[in-house]
Amino acid sequence: MGSVELFLVAIAAVFVIGAAGELVFQRTQIPDVLWLIAVGVLVGPVGGLVTREQLSQIAPYFAAITLVVVLFEGGSNLRLSDVSRAAPRSTLLALLTFGASAALVAVAAQAARAAGWLPPGWTWTHGALLGCILGGSSSIIVMPAMAVARVPARVANLVGLESAFTDAFCVVGAATLIEVLSAAHGIAPSPGAALARAFGLGAGLGVIAGLGWLFVLRVLRASEHAYTMTLAALFVLYVAIQAAGGSAALGILAFGLVVGNADAIGRRVGYARRLDLGRLVRGLHGEVTFMVKSFFFTFLGAMMGPPWTPFALGLAFGPLLLAARAPMVALVMAGRGFDGADRGIATLAVPRGMAAGVLATLPAAAGIPGTEALPALVFACVLSTIVLFAIGFPLARRGAAAGGEADAEAAPATGAAGAAAPGGEDPR
């Protein structure tokens, strides 16, 4: 079989396994990305069909496309009504889990450096960078899992919105620290000022562009090129925000949120004509997201391998991130109408994914010393957290379902006992 034929067969296999993985996921809640990572391992480290050096050359381009597609997907699927209700608590949860995870990873990284497992030049800033990369759960894994498992809306909205926020926190925080470490202009900017500038510009330009695009969509509503033009606008917006020094990730997320809620926004400002993405655009974007996700997690599996010390360290970071998340979830969800099953589901929403994998390739590309082995560490941590989620989430969901059935069975019995008590007195 020639190289072209082998290439086509490999692409077909990725698509088939991705689709089959989604079907398995719907029945078992085992994330489909595990099968894609396994295919990548077979293609790369085991089969040797592609090398890490070959994949590293395309990583920056693939990373940018992946961020645009995934963050637009996440933003456009969020409903403003849900955001307004869940945003305060989700924001608090996102800040606490991101902060705790990043801090614990930074401390663990310094301990690993002291033990000789990371390069001697590894500083606290390097540790903070790693913490930012691994600080947030993956919206592209968490959101579909909550939907397929029919998790109660109060929990699904909370952790779904949290994962969308932490995706942005990861990208903005990591990009800021990469700039600090590379000190491209001789004097590194204040991290706080850089973060505020990145958030402000990203969110502002994203909202403005999204509002303007609502009226373009009205013109393109019946056009077969509506999605192509929207995707082109996203790429241009990404470049424009990056050039302005803002967070392109947050800008794409804000754009998606505005465009995804076009009709609701139009009604609020008194615009009578219907505005929305339309089924054609949503359908096409869903297919593009599926393809990008399939290729990315296969890419991640193919990039796994030596050096083994950072790889083993990354595997150990998975349980560490779960330990950092648990008390923050308990704090935010305590005494607010959430039961133990709800907290268990939210605690297990720990998988890292595309944002972490993409960001892991950027420090070495920026020429930061000591970060050459960072992808191996981060990819291993992504695998570790996904495995934890794959094992724990179905168990937590079944436990929650069993608890709900027990409550439903107990309710009629309690009512009957109350009715039997004379004078309405408590029979106990």
The 10s digit of each residue's pLDDT in 131-182 is 999 998 987 788 878 877 778 878 888 888 888 788 878 877 887 788 778 7
Grade residue 284 by pLDDT with cuts at 50, 70 and 90. Answer: confident
In the predicted model, what is the mean pLDDT of residues 406-423? 44
Between 343 and 7, residue with greater pLDDT: 343
Residue 25 counted as domain residue: no
Between 382 and 371, residue with greater pLDDT: 382
pLDDT at 120 over 50: yes
Q: Of the given ranges (45-49, 269-273, 322-326), which has the lowest mean pLDDT?
A: 269-273
In the predicted model, what is the mean pLDDT of residues 210-228? 81
Mean pLDDT is highest, among 103-107, 176-180, 188-192, 294-298, for 103-107
- Residue range(s) defining the domain that contains residue 258: 59-388
In the predicted model, what is the mean pLDDT of residues 172-197? 67
Domain count, the chain: 1
Between 185 and 289, residue with greater pLDDT: 289
Residue 140 counted as domain residue: yes
In the predicted model, what is the mean pLDDT of residues 261-265? 73
Q: Of the given ranges (24-33, 106-115, 202-211, 312-321), which has the lowest mean pLDDT?
A: 24-33
User: What's the CATH code of the domain at 251?
Assistant: 1.20.1530.20
Residue 80 counted as domain residue: yes
pLDDT at 263 over 80: no
In the predicted model, what is the mean pLDDT of residues 296-304? 85
Give the end-to-end CA distance of the chain in Å, rounded to a whole number: 79
Residue 263 counted as domain residue: yes
In the predicted model, what is the mean pLDDT of residues 298-304? 84
Q: Of the given ranges (116-125, 214-223, 351-360), which has the lowest mean pLDDT?
A: 214-223
In the predicted model, what is the mean pLDDT of residues 318-328? 94
User: Which pLDDT does position 187 carry in this prediction?
Assistant: 45
User: Which pLDDT does position 366 carry in this prediction?
Assistant: 77
Averaged pLDDT score across all residues of the chain = 79
In the predicted model, what is the mean pLDDT of residues 298-326? 89
Grade residue 328 by pLDDT with cuts at 50, 70 and 90. Answer: very high
User: Which pLDDT does position 428 carry in this prediction?
Assistant: 36
Q: Of the given ranges (15-29, 93-107, 403-417), which has the lowest mean pLDDT?
A: 403-417
In the predicted model, what is the mean pLDDT of residues 246-256? 82
In the predicted model, what is the mean pLDDT of residues 283-287? 77
Mean pLDDT is highest, among 70-74, 79-83, 340-344, 379-383, for 379-383
Residue 136 counted as domain residue: yes
User: Which pLDDT does position 417 carry in this prediction?
Assistant: 40
Q: Of the given ranges (9-18, 179-188, 388-397, 415-424), which has the lowest mean pLDDT?
A: 415-424
Residue 105 counted as domain residue: yes
Q: Provide the whole-model pTM.
A: 0.78
pLDDT at 74 over 80: no
pLDDT at 53 over 80: no
Percent of the chain with pLDDT over 90: 20
Q: Which residue has the tokens 């360290």?
A: 313
User: Which pLDDT does position 415 carry in this prediction?
Assistant: 45
Between 272 and 266, residue with greater pLDDT: 266
Percent of the chain with pLDDT over 70: 82
Residue closest to 77 by CA, chosen among 137, 135, 136, 144 = 144
pLDDT at 48 over 90: no
Residue 180 counted as domain residue: yes
User: Which pLDDT does position 388 carry in this prediction?
Assistant: 92
d(CA 326, CA 348): 8
Grade residue 341 by pLDDT with cuts at 50, 70 and 90. Answer: confident
Grade residue 423 by pLDDT with cuts at 50, 70 and 90. Answer: very low
User: Which pLDDT does position 86 carry in this prediction?
Assistant: 66
Specify whether the CB–CB gap between 97 and 128 falls below 8 A: no
Residue 47 counted as domain residue: no
